[in-house]
Structure 1
Amino acid sequence: MAIPSIFLNFLFPPPPSLFVTTMSVIGISSLANAGFMEIKGKHMQYSKFLNEGVAKKENGAKLSSRNGMLLAYTPAFVVGLSSLLAFPDQDLRFLLLASSLTVHFLKRVLEVLFLHKYSGSMGIESTIIITLSYTVSTATMIYAQYLSRDLPNPPIDLKYVGVGLFLIGIVGNFYHHNILANLRKEGDKEYKIPQGGLFDLIICPHYVFEIFGYVGMSCISQTPYAFAFTLGTICYLMGRSYATREWYISKFGDKFPKDVKAFIPYVF
């Protein structure tokens, strides 16, 4: 993967791995396309979008949302934890990256088990796609870091900046997930317009802080793959945010505050 010289100040050289290079291209292109499909109305079949769009499958096999999300996050958590156990003598950057990935998905698993409230189901096909995406991207990010251990370090070290961004992301994401969880009482299956925190400005602040987390992990890693995957994730979550706002408008009509944007306050 060719990298303009200016970026070499911030990135490790690409590792000599056709697999990592291929996964970089696949990751950014597939996620960007998924974001574009969200904007076009072709949604991943989970959460509030399960019965929306042309991808609907009336008789398709489904899982409960709780079990589906637990399945989606657990393998990636296991990959992150296993890397810490299998490679205990790596450098600080590797340990920070593997630890942040492990904490990221452990948080998600714990939220599924103890925080989120669910009212729907997930299509099996979407569950498999999401599970593979998280698991393969986590393993590839760790593998790319491992391959970079003997390469010259980037002149500009971003790993401590990355730790700060990761912590901001994980705290902000949890805070807004907690707001969403408290919107509905136990047994209440009706959707409500979220309020509080940055929900008063954008409809998906939890996605924005998830991006902060991934940008943080990319800065910790400073590998081309990590940044490529993060860029693809930004494209997807922007598309998902746009689709979420459109869904709220279609469901609540004039009750939805028009000044609440999808992703960027006052802009988009």
Structure 2
Amino acid sequence: MEIILKTLFSSKEEELYILDCLSYLMMLMALATFLVLLFQNVPYGRYTSRKYGFPVNVKVAWFIQELPAFLVPLSLILWASPVKINVLPNQLLLGMYFCHYFQRSLIYPFLIRGGKPTPFASFALAFVFCIYNGYLQVRYLSHYADYPEGWVSHPCFITGSCLWLLGWITNLHSDHILRNLRRPGETGYKIPKGGVFEYVSGANFLGEMVEWAGFALAAQSIHSFAFAFFTFIVLSRRAIAHHEWYLEKFEDYPKSRKALIPFVF
């Protein structure tokens, strides 16, 4: 792995420049995605359409598309001589990243109950993004991120870490509520209740957005900010679409419940 990377980049400065460029490109992609999502919902789940390619089993799709976000970074740690791996702030930030994607790639897909197939286009784009972002986040943290002494006690790191943990727990709990909406043998959609769903329709999305916003605050890099920004753009639109769908589908849907931000929006 290290030999391959040295072949691609002649110097550390060159690779760091490329990582920065990839971050800015991710933000541009987020803005382009925002414009597209103004006119089209993300084609998955209840919004699935065959015009976006042949269907892929939802469990298979989730497992394969998320796996690179875990395996690509893991290979960078094991075989690419990570010079920052013994630095505490870097270790903790890498731990946050791997904690999320271990659950998302190796546990979450096998907990899915039912679920509509994923169109191939959505599956392929998610697969490519996980490779892209996995390399970007972990290569920077394991090789280049340089934090001042005592950074783990800095208010930004402490606040960001707490937000990451809050978001991660919210995301896990919200996914648990969604999985258990139907009893065995039941089909169709139901109104989610409990937890943060009492306040917003997109509780699972809000959790993940808070998670990566906290990660970006703790990491203080353009790379982590780009990821948090991209996550916000995509998941906020999903939350709004879900909220509108629930209001149209269920006459008794709680009118006080917001789309994404409790009591606000």
Q: Using structure 1 for the length normalisation, give the TM-score.
A: 0.82
Structure 1 counterpart of 2:37, one-letter code? E
1:138-149 correspondence runs (5 A): 138-149=134-145
1:34 matched to 2:33: yes
The answer to whether the 8 A contact 1:84-1:98 is kept is no
User: How many Å apart are 1:111 and its aligned residue?
Assistant: 1.8
| Partner in structure 2 of residue 132 of structure 1 | 128
| Selected match of 2:69 from 69, 76, 92 | 76
- Distance (whole Å) between structure 2 residues aligned to residue 235 and residue 163 of structure 1: 22
**2:157: which partner in 1?**
159
1:149 Cα deviation after fit = 3.9
Larger deviation, residues 75-84 vs 232-241: 75-84
Are the structure 2 counterparts of residues 26 and 118 from structure 1 closer, same or farther at C-alpha, using a change threshold of 3 Å?
Answer: farther
Residue from 58, 68, 73 that aligns with 1:65? 58
Residue 264 (1) aligns with residue 261 (2)? yes
Whole-Å separation in 2 of the counterparts to 1:229 and 1:154: 25
| Cα distance in 2 for residues equivalent to 1:200 and 1:257 | 9
Q: Deviations over 1:31-58 (max 9, x none)?
A: 2332443343x1222111113xxxx518
TM-score normalised according to structure 2 size: 0.83
Distance 2:87 2:113 in 1: 39
Is the Cα–Cα contact under 8 Å of residues 89 and 147 in structure 2 kept in the other structure?
A: no
Higher relative contact order (CA 8 A, sep 6+): 1
Unaligned runs of 5+ residues in structure 1 are 1-14
In structure 2, the gaps of 5 or more residues are 1-12
1:1-268, aligned counterparts within 5 Å? 17-40=16-39, 42-51=40-49, 57=51, 60-86=53-79, 87=82, 89-109=85-105, 110-113=107-110, 115-149=111-145, 158-252=156-250, 254-268=251-265
Q: Match of 1:267, as an amino acid?
A: V
Residue 262 to residue 33, structure 1, CA distance change in 2 (3 Å): farther
Say if 2:68 and 2:134, in contact at 8 Å, map to a contact too: no
CA deviations 1:62-89 (Å, max 9, x no partner) are 1011111111211111123334434384
Shift in Å, 1:203: 0.3
